[in-house]
Structure 1
Amino acid sequence: MNEVHERILARADELAAEAPLSDEQGSLTDTTADILRSCGVMRMLQPKEFGGMEASPVDFFRTLFDIGVQSSSAGWVAGVVGVHAFEMALMDHTLQKEIWADDADTWIASPYAPLGRATPVEGGYRFTGRWPFSSGTDHCTWIILGGLIVDADGAPVPGGSRHFVLPRADYEIIADSWDVVGLRGTGSKDIVIRDAFIPEHRVFDPTPMEDGGLADSVGRGDSPLYRMPFHPMFTAGITTATIAMARGALTAFTEAMQHRVTARGVKTADNPHQLAVLGRASADLQAGEVQLFGDIEWMWDKAQRDERFSAEDRLRVRRNQVRISRRAVDVVDELFLNAGGSALRSDSTLQRYWRDIHAALNHASNNADPIYQAYGLNSFGNPLPKTVLF
């Protein structure tokens, strides 16, 4: 087992205890962030050159899973922020030095939605925009934001979608912008930028990362980690966090069964119906876990052989990911429906997982139909929608 994974397991009870406190304050508690930081979670996919571990993605996502079982929000933030180190390793080397040279534990936020507008100027761009859903942003000091390059009239330039990287001094976090019913502890607040200058070396075209082929051209070809395909890596973080919530919910349901007695005086642990619910949920959840980690292991093996990832490869993984997430939500719905009225209480662990996993399903990476459609189109040799990222 990876050393970071071992450290996380040793502090599992602390993560679980902090989960409701993160919900209450609307962002990860400092204690939760300190656990993730001291265990080295965000450095697992970071280059060794800058104090990272270049761990295998299999180790990273298994560690992420066990974080999310204890705390939905911690698992979510660890996945999103943790994968940013993977992308940063493929960016300009000067930028990597700016971020990590003085502090290997620097965290990088996002989001990638292309909501910013960048006007070319000498040496770079003037950048403006507002973005929702910047998970874990209070604990980050840099950010990657999606945007479009525009011409002098403000019209988007064809092929001008880019990722823009900025330090904390160049953007504003809107403090009261994360008032939600689920994943409250992620603190996924809005980001605002008003006419900031972005030098050219902090602007990145993400397209070459899609098939895993960028590593060689940026000097990272000796590490199979950076030959992994970007979108299935990022979305694996979302899927892993989602199914971890279902595992946490199943644990909470099982623990409640041990003590609950029905209105007819029957122990839930002796109730055939409740036992059947537990059996179905356990089987469906384990199937999802096997499929999720099986795909990650398959991608890792392929990257170690220095093979590129075709559209068919990436779409198959994405098809599986969105289906895994859907099944995980269905599991939690059935558990919650059969947990009795006590599950409705605000201090119920099960209701928190229920709220969190429904919030998770609203993430764009868990939006299933476009992925299913793209998979079908590709299966019959038809052109794929340009709006679908995979």
Structure 2
Amino acid sequence: MRNRVLDEIMERAEEIRELGPVGERLGRLDDKAAGVLRDAGVIRLLQPAGHGGLEAHPREFAETVMAIAALDGSAGWIAGIVGVHPWEMAMADPRVQQEIWGEDPDTWIASPYAPMGIARPVDGGYVFNGRWQFSSGTDHCDWIFLGGMLGDADGRMAQPPQALHLILPRSDYEIVEGSWEVAGLCGTGSKDIVVRDAFVPDYRVIPFAKVIDGSAPREAGLTNPTYLTPFSTVFPLGITAAVIGITEGALACHLAYQRDRVQITGTRIKDDPYVLYAISEAAAEISASRTALIDNACRMYDKAAAGREITFAERAAGRRVQVRAAWRAVQAMNEIVVRSGGNAMRRDNPIQRFWRDAHVGLAHAIHVPGSVYHASALTDLGVEPPPGPMRSMI
């Protein structure tokens, strides 16, 4: 099936590319760049059809994110992160879906999901407090998903711990200006969020356990395999696709820069076998990362479409593939960036921006290999499920 969203993005590729430095200076995505994503329907790729969405295959989502990130890392990052939120919103109560999309199906939803708040139960809902970092694209969003822990009557974390995803309108939270001063992905505007004593009604709350175990979409009556694909596949997909797309952008800029470059020794790059070797090896590794990530998403989708239960071991192996794909691509990118010469580090050379963006993207918690590799190795050895926090996000 033709990906018409991707087609429209490529028609406006030069516009996205040129707006990248503008977003970096602003510390958030430029309004024109956000408009391109909005007009193309990027954020509606995983949105339910009943609210103007495309219910796209996860492969189409990943390919679109990669293409945008190869033009501008920050725009691709927002496409991946903000773009995944409609996927979960499809599982939410129809009342909140109507509140968000009823008048405008292009309303964007921010996050983060990290459980940095406490939700104290009250009649009809919760009183919510907390502070969160890294709300990517938040300036262009009118609603937000925030992670929180269930509290007790005194506002302390209830036992046993229970994680929640709470949905709030823009009027119920504060965006902290000046809280996104970073080395890379500057244009994502991933600012801090503060919530003070906001009332969140019951119908705007989703237990995270039901999202991670796959019961939330089934209880919502969703049948499209896109929504039955595990959260631990779909949520990391947008983030890792952005990182891989950024490395593809770095490779493209490197090739364009090296094409006519002559080293200080007088040797043309086209005549330097060591640089040529590095280019080919990096291109192969970045391509392998793309293939691995997309193949993993497709396999999970196919299992969901066949009505198969996707086991913890399969989810853990999928996360292992996803994490390794990100690291492989960034490590390959490093090999060509360090062979680009000192002028590649000048501010007017996009190579250095892709390089910084990729490393900041790799630092996202979803790419930390330790617990994922540990959990997947234990399941391979017959220990399933592994103990404690190693099960997190799997």
CA distance in 1, matches of 2:118, 2:44: 31
User: 1:323 and 1:213 mapped to 2: Cα distance?
Assistant: 28
| Paired residue secondary structure (1:214) | helix
Give the letter for the 2:199 counterpart. Answer: F
1:29 aligns with 2:49: no
Indicate conservation of the 8 Å contact 2:180/2:189, yes or no: yes
The 5-angstrom pairing of residues 223-372 of structure 1 reads 223-372=224-373
In the TM superposition, 1:77-92 aligns within 5 A as 77-92=78-93
User: Shift in Å at residue 29 of structure 1?
Assistant: 0.3
| Counterpart contact for 2:233–2:300, Cα < 8 Å | no
Q: Could you tell me whether the CA contact under 8 Å between 2:118 and 2:156 is conserved in 1? A: no
Indicate the RMSD between aligned Cα atoms, in angstroms.
1.1
SS in 1 for 2:127: strand
Q: Identity of counterpart residues, as a percentage?
A: 44
5+ unaligned residues in a row in structure 2: which ranges? none
Q: Give the superposition deviation at 1:269.
A: 1.9
Residue identity matched to 1:183: L
Distance in 2 (CA, whole Å) between partners of 1:373 and 1:163 is: 27
The 1-side partners of 2:327 and 2:365 are apart by: 13
State whether residues 211 and 309 of structure 1, in contact with CA within 8 Å, keep that contact through their aligned partners in structure 2. Answer: no
1:180 to 2:171 alignment: no
Q: Please give the TM-score of this superposition, normalised by the length of structure 1.
A: 0.97
Q: Structure 1: which amino acid aligns with 2:283?
A: S
Contact 1:118-1:126 at 8 Å conserved across structures: yes
Aligned to 1:386: 388
C-alpha distance in structure 2 between counterparts of 1:128 and 1:213, whole Å? 27
Using the alignment, how far apart are the partners of 1:384 and 1:294 within structure 2?
25
Q: Which residue of structure 2 aligns with residue 108 of structure 1?
A: 109
CA distance in 2, matches of 1:178, 1:379: 40
CA distance in 2, matches of 1:80, 1:215: 19
Unaligned runs of 5+ in 1: none
Query: Does structure 2 retain, via aligned residues, the 8 Å contact 1:111–1:132?
Result: yes
Supply the distance in 2 between the matched residues of 1:43 and 1:318 (Cα, whole angstroms).
25
Given that 2:61 and 2:238 are in contact with CA atoms closer than 8 Å, whether structure 1 keeps it comes out as no
Taking the aligned partners of 1:283 and 1:56, their CA distance within structure 2 comes to 25
Q: For each residue in 1:315-350, what CA deviation from the matched residue of structure 2 results, as whole angstroms up to 9, or x when unmatched?
A: 111001111111111112111111111011111111
Alignment-mate amino acid for residue 341 of structure 1: G
Q: Retained in 1: the 8 A contact 2:57–2:226?
A: yes
> Mean alpha-carbon deviation: is it higher for 297-306 or for 108-117?
297-306
Q: CA deviation at 1:24?
A: 0.7
TM-score (norm: length of structure 2): 0.96
Q: Contact 1:261/1:268 (CA < 8 Å) preserved in 2?
A: yes
- Per the alignment, residue 214 of structure 2 pairs with 212
Q: Distance in 1 between matches of 2:217 and 2:156?
A: 32
Q: Distance in 2 between matches of 1:342 and 1:247?
A: 20
- Equivalent residue for 1:141? 142
